[in-house]
Amino acid sequence: MHLAIVDLLKLEPKDNIHVMGWVRSFRGGRFIALNDGSCMKSIQIVVDPEIIGEDTLSTISTGASLSVKGDLVESLGSGQKTEIQAKEIQVLGKANPEDVQQTILQPKKHSLEKLREQAHLRMRTNLFGAIFRIRHHMAYAIHKYFNDNGYFYIHTPIITGTDAEGAGETFRVTTLPVGKKEEVSAEQDFFGKPTHLTVSGQLEAELAALALGKAYTFGPTFRAENSNTTRHLAEFWMIEPELAFADITDNMNLGEDFLKFLVSYALEHCHEDLVFLNDRATKEEQQLPKEKRNQYSLLERMKMVVDHDFERITYSNAIDILLQSKPHKKKQFKFPVEWGIDLQSEHEKFLVEKHFKKPVIIVDYPAQIKAFYMRQNEDGKTVAAMDVLFPGIGEIIGGSQREERHEILEQKCKEFNVPKEAIWWYLDTRKFGTVPHAGFGLGFERLMMFVTGMTNIRDVIPFPRTPKNAEF
């Protein structure tokens, strides 16, 4: 059985080691840097041409895959504690040097755009190896947190007949022949009604919470939003917990505790990869004009989340702070500030990074800019909605106490043009032992952008789906 390099690097010198991986470099016909993706570091393989024949050596090049047997010994060179003196090398898969020169596997710096064009190979690079190892750890941490806190994992439907957000930006699902969708009744379609890929598992997760007490979803969601920005994907992953017998304060407490746990988990379990990403981001920032640089490094932003209690303010308070701010008075904000607006990223970042210098939770938003299912406050103007704002990223969580009162929810459906017959089952839950309950949505890729410091959402998901792009 071969050893993973991440485990091999922890060992003291030992005979008869077996390791497999891909060649990152082959220097002077003597030194091979071998990496298997299990960690950032490579193991150095030292080759004696008298032991490893020329027939084998001539087929080893950057990108090739090897099986190496030998002894783990103390390294005489700098940069590594141990190395492997090779006794036997088998080339598992060759890589033509001329072909390698046309790919991102050649050992030089490549643009992120170039790396996206070759997404089938980009996980082989240091940068994306680090990102996707962290993605794994974050996915595991999400399930660990909810499992340890008594939540039940619910698989909500990917194909649905409802639009939880009411935005209408959905991908239609149909078996009807192309060109005949409008001519043929939806009743003749596979499901007998119009269906689409889900934009959220929230409504179904609420049903689970109203039976099991605590539930969460973690699955793919889809938005047919024709937006080619650094913050939008057509396919992404959402974490959506729902909690029965809970109000907006319970929801804020859950969001803060959950995010602190995730960031702490990353700092503890992804240290090597985070140090690499922190150093990379710092170097990249130095190329930017001073006004566009992040005020804090990646690791500083993460520690800001862990070390501080989140500031909690109302939407009205947030607007007052923005109106009194220098950027507003000097007309430096791109978007206007007034009560009733949907806060923009520039507003959110000001509140977090300049004003409070720590994460912020904003609560009690104007009803007209939030969804129909959010609980109406006594003032009749606002709803018990909350957004959690992070340094460098702006909004990372959006949630609310849900409207549990049947009559008010029916009225909200009318106001928001949500057909009651489409969500009769959702309304039904308010007739049979309704209770206060709350929940939120956290976009997994938005979390990944924060934890990795990447500025383009396409770089934190293995194979991004965007307008005019469904490659790989």
Supply the CATH number for residue 281's domain. Answer: 3.30.930.10
How far apart CA 364 and CA 204 sit, in angstroms, is: 24
Q: Residue 26's pLDDT is what?
A: 95
Q: Are residues 410 and 451 in the same domain?
A: yes
| pLDDT surpassing 60 at residue 99 | yes
Q: Are residues 389 and 275 in the same domain?
A: yes
Strand runs (DSSP E) across 7-52, as ranges?
14-27, 31-35, 43-46
The whole-number average pLDDT for the span 452-464 is 96
Burial of 104 (0-12, 13-18, 19+ CB in 10 A): buried
| Residue 465 resides in a domain | no
pLDDT band at 168 (very low <50, low <70, confident <90, very high): low
Q: Are residues 190 and 305 in the same domain?
A: yes
Host domain of residue 331:
124-459
| pLDDT surpassing 60 at residue 94 | yes
Quick: pLDDT tens for 106-142. 988 999 999 999 999 999 999 999 999 999 999 999 9
Domain boundary among 101, 116, 133: 101
Q: Residue 179's pLDDT is what?
A: 66
Mean pLDDT of the chain: 94
More confident residue, 347 or 422: 347
Q: Are residues 268 and 410 in the same domain?
A: yes
| Residue 369 resides in a domain | yes
| Residue 421 resides in a domain | yes
| Residue 469 resides in a domain | no
Q: Do 413 and 372 touch, CB atoms closer than 8 A?
A: yes
What's the CATH code of the domain at 30? 2.40.50.140
More confident residue, 292 or 388: 388
How far apart CA 68 and CA 26 sit, in angstroms, is: 14
Q: Residue 323's pLDDT is what?
A: 98
Q: Are residues 35 and 75 in the same domain?
A: yes
| pLDDT surpassing 60 at residue 167 | no
What's the one-letter identity of residue 295? Q
pLDDT band at 231 (very low <50, low <70, confident <90, very high): confident
pTM value is 0.94
Q: Are residues 242 and 137 in the same domain?
A: yes
Q: Are residues 81 and 191 in the same domain?
A: no
The whole-number average pLDDT for the span 179-206 is 85
Quick: pLDDT tens for 208-218. 999 999 999 99
| Residue 114 resides in a domain | no
Q: Are residues 241 and 94 in the same domain?
A: no
Task: Give me the phi and psi of 140, to 5 degrees please.
Answer: -65, -45
Domain boundary among 101, 116, 146: 101
| Residue 470 resides in a domain | no
Quick: pLDDT tens for 368-379. 999 999 999 999
Q: From 361, 230, 357, select the one nearest 300 (Cα to Cα).
A: 357
The whole-number average pLDDT for the span 63-70 is 98
pLDDT band at 188 (very low <50, low <70, confident <90, very high): confident
What's the one-letter identity of residue 27? R
Query: Over the Cα atoms of the chain, what is R_g?
Result: 26
| Residue 219 resides in a domain | yes
Q: Are residues 147 and 94 in the same domain?
A: no
| Total residues found in the chain within this entry | 472
